[in-house]
Amino acid sequence: MKTANICAVTLVLALLAAGAGHPFAVTPPELEFSGITSYVFESNPQEITPKMYNWRVTLSKSDSAGGVYEIVQITRPKRADSKADPTPNVLVDAKMIGVNQDGVVDFNLYVGDRAPKANMGLRGRAGEPIIFSGKGTGKAESNWIVLPGPKIEQAVPATQGAPMSDGRLRLIQFTVNDDRGEQFQVDVVLRRK
């Protein structure tokens, strides 16, 4: 055997041995990722009303077994002097967010049309649809995010790789102005109940 071949074989064996001993080679279940495992903006533009924000969220086995979850909308005025408490509204109830046959919480979530629905619930408000679909659970639900004003200044979605922290995962944050010019922050959040 030539010296070059012996060196190549030795190098490959050394790399394989190093890879097997690498701390990330095997991930224990308690260290698995919890959060957004994929995100696509307007994943199917051929739909009549394509959804603008599309997430797949998967929780580790330990987080999946660590409590029940719900998706809520939290609305608060952005004025510094506002004394109003944030108003939570349950969008997807905890009974819909269950573990699948693999023992994990795994779901798709779709939010928002290009043109929000005007006068949603009350005159001067806007609505964005939200559709939940559990992976392997057979559970699905739709609802509306009711924004406190008609003008969406900004929508900031969490993207792939966003982790859950302290039992919470922010999915999207809207900045909205009402007809009087008051500005609100609307967060859509997965949270441990």
**What is the full per-residue pLDDT of the chain (193 aa) written as tens digits?**
554 444 444 444 444 444 444 343 444 444 589 999 999 998 777 777 778 899 999 999 999 998 899 999 999 998 877 766 787 899 999 999 999 999 999 999 999 988 899 998 888 999 999 999 999 999 999 999 999 999 999 999 999 999 999 999 999 999 999 988 899 999 999 999 9
What is the pTM assigned to this prediction?
0.80
Q: What is the pLDDT of residue 146?
A: 95
Could you give the CA distance from residue 32 to residue 83 in angstroms, rounded to a whole number? Answer: 40
Q: What is the pLDDT of residue 32?
A: 85
Strands (E), 15-167: 35-41, 53-58, 69-77, 87-92, 106-111, 117-118, 126-134, 140-147, 151-157
Q: What is the pLDDT of residue 171?
A: 98
| Residue found by looking up tokens 């690498």 in the block | 22
Q: What is the pLDDT of residue 63?
A: 95
CB 125 within 8 A of CB 90: no
Q: What is the pLDDT of residue 17?
A: 43
- Quick one: tokens of 77? 């005025």
Q: What is the pLDDT of residue 23?
A: 40
Q: What is the pLDDT of residue 83?
A: 66
Q: What is the pLDDT of residue 26?
A: 43
